[in-house]
């Protein structure tokens, strides 16, 4: 599967992006195995982590079934570096048209960060694969519902920031397509076994919400 097929498949099965901020390259494979073995296929290593491109390269090589890439992607050069390392996913905290255009040119999945309707429509017009609704702590389910009412029906919207197994349900009800999961899943030094336990909690919450 290409990057966009992987993303579409993940949205239909387990629409959760693992945000591994602070991951050390030595942790990449055990943490990646903990995630992939439980069914997670969307993995992001923010570029403000230690030697992030090394971790991305290791994860992309070891887990070709997953869509691996970078977060905190701020420049066109960042996009190219991620792609050169084998990454296929570009996630940003902001919307930078040049970053989106370069990701599209390289055939990568691109999720820029947006807060407003103006940013969301501009990002989609630029070719963004989907939208990172960020920070979710400032964007309540009610706000997301209002945005979802005007956005294209097929636009993927993923709230990121402060998402836990306990607060996913209202966002799903408001129209979230999935989520980016950070410190509630992994923070620097978290053992792979604990990452697997955290991953299963999110899986259970996600499955329960979808069934409901």
> What is the set of active-site residues?
44, 132
Q: Are strands 67-71 and 89-91 parallel, antiparallel or unpaired?
A: parallel
Q: Which two tokens stand for residue 28?
A: 């990449």
Find the helix or strand (DSSP H, E) in which 132 lies.
Answer: strand 130-133
212 CA to centre of own chain = 24
From the list 92, 97, 73, 104, the residue with the least C-alpha distance to 4 is: 104
Give the three-class secondary structure for 178.
Answer: coil
CB 131 within 8 A of CB 157: yes
Q: For the residues of 23-67, what is the DSSP string, one character each?
A: --HHHHHHHHHHHHHHT--EEEEETTSSSHHHHHHHHHHH-TTSE
Q: Which two tokens stand for residue 72?
A: 């905190």
CB 88 within 8 A of CB 79: no
């Amino acid at each position: 599967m290409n990057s966009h097929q992987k993303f579409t498949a993940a949205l239909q099965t387990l629409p959760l992006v693992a945000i591994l901020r602070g991951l050390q390259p030595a942790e990449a494979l055990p943490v990646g195995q903990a995630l992939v073995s439980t069914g997670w296929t969307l993995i992001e290593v923010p570029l403000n982590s230690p030697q992030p491109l090394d971790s991305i390269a290791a994860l992309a090589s070891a887990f070709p079934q997953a869509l691996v890439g970078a977060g905190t992607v701020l420049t066109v050069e960042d996009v190219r570096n991620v792609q050169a390392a084998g990454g296929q996913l570009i996630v940003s905290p902001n919307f930078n048209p040049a970053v989106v255009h370069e990701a599209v040119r390289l055939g990568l999945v691109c999720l820029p960060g947006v807060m407003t309707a103006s940013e969301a429509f501009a990002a989609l017009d630029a070719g963004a694969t989907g939208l990172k609704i960020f920070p979710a702590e400032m964007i309540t389910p009610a706000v997301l519902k209002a945005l979802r009412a005007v956005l294209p029906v097929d636009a993927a919207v993923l709230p990121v920031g402060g998402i836990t197994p306990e607060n996913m349900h209202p966002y799903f009800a408001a129209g979230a397509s999935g989520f980016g999961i950070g410190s509630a899943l992994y923070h620097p030094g978290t053992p792979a076994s604990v990452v697997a336990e955290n991953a299963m909690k999110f899986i259970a919450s996600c499955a329960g919400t979808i069934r409901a």
